[in-house]
Structure 1
Amino acid sequence: MTANAADFAGPACGSRYEKEMETHFRDCLLFYLDGRIRFERYCYGEAACLVFSVWAHGFDQDGKILWDKEPEFESQRSALPRILTDVQESGNALQFDGLRKRYVKTEEFAEDKMNGYGKFKVFWLKRRK
């Protein structure tokens, strides 16, 4: 499946997709205008916090996510989605690796300063588009 990560970013800076029906962790994929992808895993509960995150520079021609660096631990590597197998609901739900649980769009954001997408960078990305 040929895919362009920037297509899932939306008209602003980017979009957040969260894995549905997840019970132990909150797994998120963030898509940005420049085609970058960020996977974030958060824990639930009182001490809810970011467990780990990984950047990717898009998809290859077969829909495989091109992770910049594989995580060190096997439990983290196995948590990463690998291949986009289906796009549903006009791009609002994404299925990876043929698994039943999908990533569903939950938010579009205008900037993401924590990850290096401030107003100035977003302005230039929109102009290039």
Structure 2
Amino acid sequence: MGEVDQTNYSPLSVGENYVVYALLFIFDRVDFLVRAPDQPPFWVPSCLFRLVDARIPAGWEFCITQTRPDYKCLFDAFKISHVMGYPLLVNEYEHYVGIVERDPVEVLRFMGDELEHISD
């Protein structure tokens, strides 16, 4: 997915805690959708983290990419088999792409969804 040995995962900091907003499954690898303060969310390999709370948040949904015409290209191009997370991410492919590409409109939708779940 475009990573190399020199891939920089700034602005993450060692020793900090981050909320995981979604999971992405690629063969034997899992990536976390996280965000650092004042940054849009981005995908990071889970091997860079130590999981401190393994509970799955209420309201998360699951997408099997091979069975969804709009998400199937993720499997075909990157072998992403499943996406699990907040409903907007797993039900609106345009939102998923917007998060990956850091589209300002989709990042704002993410932020609105994030604030809504924090207040629940």
Scaled by the length of structure 1, the TM-score of the pair is: 0.24
Which structure shows the higher helix fraction? 2
Structure with greater proportional strand content: 1
